[in-house]
Amino acid sequence: MRRHPLGVRQLRVVRELAATERNRDGGDQAPFEDAGQRSSPPRAFSESIAARCAGAVGKYWPYHDRLFERQPAFRRADLLLYADELGLDREAFTRCLDERRFAADVDRDVAQAQALGFNSTPTFLVNGRRVVGAISVEEFRTIVDDALRTPR
């Protein structure tokens, strides 16, 4: 099983930062959008839909994390197994996945990322400032602190 080391490392940084910054200045101010790509890798789009299906019942982050832990095992059977492991209703999850219920939402995120010129991961937008590539928690915290001090 091969993991994308940059993505896994940056996920840890974002999670650590989010844990320490949550509710600072009035709540969670960090919307997250996954931008599944239809072409590379080919199943990333289905993974994004599956994560949204899990999110519909409050399990987005546990499912998202399972995808990261188990990559590159992303066949349909794998996506259903992860739902089972997280205790999701198998029938409802399968229906959501097969109907591609959140495809339009993922398409919108992809279009927005393309419109913003995001063409690599990880890429973040912090108060209008583009941050590309893996950075440390300290660097990220400095960027967030600067953004919080800068009037919009």
Summarised one tens digit per residue, pLDDT across range 57-95 is: 999 989 988 998 888 888 999 999 999 999 999 999 999
Give the number of other CB atoms < 10 A from CB of residue 46: 19
pLDDT 10s digits, 102-136: 999 988 888 888 888 887 777 888 888 888 888 88
- The domain locations on the chain are 1-22+118-152, 36-116
pTM value is: 0.70
Q: Is 32 helix (H, G, I), strand (E, B) or coil?
A: coil
**Tokens standing for residue 128:** 């209008």
For position 127, what pLDDT does the model report?
A: 82
